[in-house]
Amino acid sequence: MRRKTARDRSTKRQITRTCSWANKGLRSMRVAKRESNGICLPLKQVETLDTQLLYTHIICNEFIHRGHKQLVDDDVPVCSCKLSKDDPESACGDRCLNVLTSNECTHGFCPCGESCKNQRFQKRKYIKTKLVKTEERGWGLLADQDVKMGEFVIEYCGEVISSEEARTRSQNYESEGMQDAYIISLSGSEFIDATRKGSLGRFINHSCDPNCETRKWTVLGEVRVGIFAKKDIKTGTELTYNYNFEWYGGAKVRCRCGAASCVGFLGAKSRGFQEDTYVWEDNDDRFSVENVPLYDSEDDEPLSTFFKKAQVGLKFKKLRGSIPSKSGEKTSTPHKAENTPKTEPTVELKLDETVETNNVHATLQHEVLMGDEDKPIKEEETDNVSTGVVEKNLQSEKNEEQDSKKQKQGVLSLKRMGAEKLGLFQKRSRFYSNQYSNSPISSRIKAQDIHRHILSQDACDQLVAAEEAEVAATLELNRLHDKLRPTMEELGKDGPDSLPMSMAEEWIAVTCKQMAAVLNFNHTAMICLARFAQDEQVLE
Ligand SMILES: C[S@@+](CC[C@H](N)C(=O)[O-])C[C@H]1O[C@@H](n2cnc3c(N)ncnc32)[C@H](O)[C@@H]1O
């Protein structure tokens, strides 16, 4: 790899990098076959590209129509993991309450400190990947290492835009003749557009029999989209996920995934597909469409399959060890989005040529527009592109600190009873921050905190049972949200309105159950505290 140019442009520096590859001199088109999900995908060897691809490489989402949410301390979800040397899973593994609810732990708040394994988006714990040119599907991304089922592959980054903007942009891209679509759904009302700015996740192609899937995680208060391995993946395999639901491709694109179960078109169940009015020209053999029937999403797959998360057994130890206390800290500094760009995005990755070799390599030309403050990239912030480290100017964090607003809701009676003074009021705990969950109680008490003040074993057992029931009901509700999310997103709703009756009923039943469990736990906790207060008075 060698640096090609480095030229200063007033405050901006532009660096062009070219990667050298073996077999670059090969002129003929060769087709290599490579195993992907058991399907043989043709990978093309080309000398020059007919299309030139230019986009700005970013390493975290950029918010176009609003700013990044500012998290105050009270809203930071804190798990109750307790670090144990003998149990690697103790440092925020599968049993971590944050992991179970698809929340990332927050640096500085996690009881496991630096050992916490649940900060993969924030630390950009991506797998190693390679960019290649495929024969019929444009660029694609290969795994450059063996990947285990469930492993985090990469984040899909781009510009976060509103639904209206997504619609407008999609139409504009189509009218500009863009053949590749990069808008995916983030929530019922927001989308991620990686067309002009994005991460390498934008190169992952669709397959009807994919080896990856998208999952939504809440990180520092914002929902983010990650690509996760659905199965074990061997190095050299093309990474794919099913675009259904997520994709906002306006045009009907014939699917070339080669899977036996191929449904024929990309994102056939997506909102964009259903709303589509655009058809590519017939002479464009990659996108030709004749009398495409609209896909009826109700005819097919069960709704839950796409977003299904690993089912996790609920096993919480009774009276978990207490969280190393940060009590006494009254700071409520808003949590900044990590690497929030100070200036406009600064890195451009320009791909203008590729040579596919037997080793499946691509030649990239990276144009890196550096910002004013060149800052070396930290290792953990590097996209693991096999073509070498793309030199980036990491967008420096905004230093601005906003005055915090205390957002304490609910459980006021507990506070009046002096629970907070007693250290019983659990701060910064939010176990169900799923985007569709709107629990009125943002701060929450925990059995373990009350337990040490209760003498009666019966009361303790009741309290723990109530807490377990509450956590179980919350998880059930979160799972249901995940199951219904594709339908809600298709309908552009964040709630059960317009859901088919059976789904709405299920929603209401599970929500009621969860609310009842929350109330029951709080009620039990209050009774315990009232008893405790009485005992104290008697003692006095
Ligand atoms: C998110 S981009 C993926 C990266 C893209 N191949 C590129 O070159 O930048 C989605 C676009 O890739 C192409 N694509 C992805 N999967 C495909 C598939 N299975 N069959 C045909 N085209 C596909 C379509 O043009 C689609 O609009």
CA-208 nearest atom, ligand 1: 19
pLDDT at 175: 85
Ligand 1 nearest-atom number relative to CA 133:
8
Which of 180, 192, 285, 351, when mutated, tests ligand 1's pocket best, judged by the most ligand atoms within 8 Å of its CB? Answer: 180
Burial class (CB in 10 A: 0-12, 13-18, 19+), 401: exposed
- Low-confidence stretches of the chain (pLDDT beneath 50): 1-51, 271, 273, 276-334, 336, 339-443
* Cα(138) to centroid(ligand 1), Å: 6
CA pseudo-torsion sign 98, 104, 110, 113? positive
Burial of 377 (0-12, 13-18, 19+ CB in 10 A): middle
From residue 161, alpha-carbon distances to 72, 217, 336, 344, 357 in Å are: 24, 18, 19, 16, 38
**Pair type for strands 222-229 and 152-155:** antiparallel
What spacing in Å lies between the alpha carbon of 79 and ligand 1's midpoint?
Answer: 39
Is the CB of 256 within 6 Å of ligand 1? Answer: yes
pLDDT score, position 70: 86
Ligand 1 geometric centre to CA of 206 (Å): 6
Cα–Cα distance between 363 and 370 in angstroms, integer?
Answer: 21
Q: How many CB atoms neighbour CB 146 within 10 A?
A: 13
| Distance of CA 253 from the midpoint of ligand 1 (Å) | 9
C-alpha 70 to ligand 1 mean position (Å)? 35
Q: How far apart are CA 85 and CA 446, in angstroms?
A: 25
* Structure tokens given for 431: 């176990």
Q: Are 204 and 163 in contact (CB under 8 A)?
A: no
Query: Which pTM value belongs to this model?
Result: 0.53
- pLDDT for the residue 524: 82
Counting ligand 1 atoms within 8 A of each CB, the residue from 43, 131, 137 with the most, and so the one to mutate, is 137
CATH 2.60.40.10 fits 57-307, yes or no: no
Given a contact cutoff of 8 angstroms between Cβ atoms, the answer to whether 99 and 92 are in contact is yes
Q: Which ligand 1 atom is the nearest neighbour of the CA of 180?
A: 27
Other CB atoms within a 10 A radius of the CB of residue 94 amount to 12
Q: 521 CB under 6 A from ligand 1? A: no
Q: Which of the listed residues 227, 266, 273, 349 should we mutate to test ligand 1's pocket, taking the one with most ligand atoms within 8 A of CB?
A: 266
Q: Residue 154: beta bridge partners? A: 227
Nearest CA to ligand 1 atom 14: 137
Mutating to test ligand 1, I would choose from 41, 205, 354 the residue with most ligand atoms within 8 A of its C-beta, which is 205
SS3 118: coil
What is the structure's pLDDT at 447? 65
Judged on CB neighbours under 10 Å (0-12, 13-18, 19+), 10 is exposed
Per-domain residue ranges of the chain: 57-307, 412-539
